[in-house]
């Protein structure tokens, strides 16, 4: 049986250039960090929180330039003045205060110099609240950053060694973690203040001594999983040292856990410092922190609520924004966690 011949004019030869165009990938390939950044910026809540925190950090860094007054300068004749925003007649920011059931211009009552106004008012010693809030936020952020750095310096190596060695070494190291975590933070702070004088150093040390255990536990759990991966086993087979494996393979793959836990450590440190300053065993006077401002404001909250509302709003924004940004980073690094 003869096979019929198909005429050549029935064939259609494809253009090689057309094939190449069809084979091109529709979207460019992304690295892991580029994909994380893309997912993070798609999260509108996280972007808003990142913007707010960046603005607060910038204002705190440039506090000496931005703050309108010296935060510790006292003017007894200008004490407890209400907020005033220039000559604008904005309710709540026009310098008027309720005195005996009548709204009066508090700045005229104390014969304040012409052109003098305080955007957020003054405290009981006549100090500018806006300047004190800016410097107080700066001090609270410094405490949080220093405590977080110590947390990273202790927690990461401790967790890696515990997870990498395993066995008896891991058992002993985890018992130490349990002992440290069982000691309340407040007791550690009091002990630090007995040894050192109250202030920034004692608070940072107290937070650092107890807060690194969470980071160590997370890093240990991740190290247990990573050390069984093929690329780690291959590195061990090739004779690489444990230190080199940790720096070259473990820490880069632990970066997501480290970043996410850091974002949750910062608000905890800020809140703990504010709590200590609020109850009077934190930052000493005349230095301002968000905790000391809240403590001073609550004493006159019934008659002068603005003295407490302003630092409370700033503290709430920092706490909420940092936690929401941490959630956004967790979803960006591990999309399956949001499913």
Shared-domain flag, residues 112 and 236: no
Helices (H), 67-166: 106-109, 129-165
The mean pLDDT value for 194-201 works out to: 78
**Which CATH number does the domain housing residue 209 bear?**
1.10.3720.10
Q: What's the CA gap between 185 and 272, in Å, rounded?
A: 9
What are the tens digits of pLDDT across the range 130-162? 999 999 899 888 888 888 888 888 888 998 888
Structural domain boundaries, residue 221: 46-81+118-333
pTM above 0.75, yes or no: yes
Residue 217 pLDDT more than 80? Answer: yes
Q: Which of 94, 117, 140 is the last residue of a domain?
A: 117
Which among 160, 136, 129 is positioned nearest to 305, based on CA atoms?
Answer: 129
Q: How many domains does the chain have?
A: 2
Q: Which pair of structure tokens corresponds to residue 181?
A: 């975590």
Q: Which of 97, 117, 137 is the last residue of a domain?
A: 117
Res 55: pLDDT: 93
Q: What's the CA gap between 186 and 281, in Å, rounded?
A: 10
Res 280: pLDDT: 77
The angle subtended at Cα 278 by Cα 319 and Cα 185, nearest 5°, is 75
Q: Which pair of structure tokens corresponds to residue 233?
A: 């086993």
Shared-domain flag, residues 103 and 182: no
The angle subtended at Cα 268 by Cα 280 and Cα 335, nearest 5°, is 170
Shared-domain flag, residues 107 and 214: no
Please check whether residue 107 is in contact with residue 117, taking contact to mean a CB–CB distance below 8 angstroms.
yes
Residue 108: CB atoms within 10 Å:
10
What are the tens digits of pLDDT across the range 70-111? 888 888 888 888 888 877 777 777 777 777 777 787 778 887
DSSP 103: E
Q: What's the CA gap between 217 and 69, in Å, rounded?
A: 45
């Amino acid at each position: 049986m003869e096979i019929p011949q198909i005429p050549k004019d029935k064939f259609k030869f494809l253009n090689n250039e057309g094939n190449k165009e069809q084979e091109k990938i529709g979207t460019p390939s992304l690295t892991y960090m580029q994909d994380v950044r893309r997912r993070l910026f798609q999260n509108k809540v996280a972007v808003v929180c990142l913007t707010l925190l960046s603005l607060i950090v910038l204002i705190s860094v440039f506090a000496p330039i931005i703050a309108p007054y010296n935060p510790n300068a006292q003017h007894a004749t200008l004490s407890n003045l209400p907020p005033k925003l220039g000559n604008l007649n904005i309710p709540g920011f026009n310098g008027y205060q309720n005195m005996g059931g009548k709204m009066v211009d508090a700045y005229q009552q104390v014969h304040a110099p012409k052109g003098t106004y305080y955007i957020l008012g003054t405290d009981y010693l006549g100090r500018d609240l806006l300047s004190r809030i800016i410097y107080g936020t700066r001090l609270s952020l410094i405490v949080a950053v220093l405590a977080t750095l110590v947390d990273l310096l202790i927690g990461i190596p401790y967790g890696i060694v515990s997870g990498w060695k395993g066995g008896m070494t891991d058992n002993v190291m985890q018992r130490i973690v349990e002992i440290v975590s069982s000691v309340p933070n407040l007791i550690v702070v009091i002990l630090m203040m007995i040894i050192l004088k109250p202030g920034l150093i004692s608070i940072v040390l107290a937070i650092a001594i107890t807060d690194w255990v969470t980071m160590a536990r997370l890093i240990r759990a991740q190290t247990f999983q990573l050390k069984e991966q093929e690329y780690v086993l291959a590195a061990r087979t090739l004779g690489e040292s444990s230190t080199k494996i940790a720096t070259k393979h473990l820490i880069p793959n632990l970066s997501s856990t480290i970043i996410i836990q850091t974002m949750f450590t910062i608000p905890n440190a800020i809140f703990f410092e504010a709590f200590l300053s609020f109850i009077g065993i934190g930052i000493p006077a005349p230095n301002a922190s968000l905790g000391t401002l809240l403590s001073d404001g609550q004493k006159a909250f019934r008659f002068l609520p603005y003295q407490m509302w302003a630092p409370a709003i700033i503290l709430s924004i920092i706490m909420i924004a940092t936690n929401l940004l941490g959630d956004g980073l967790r979803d960006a690094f591990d999309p399956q966690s949001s499913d």
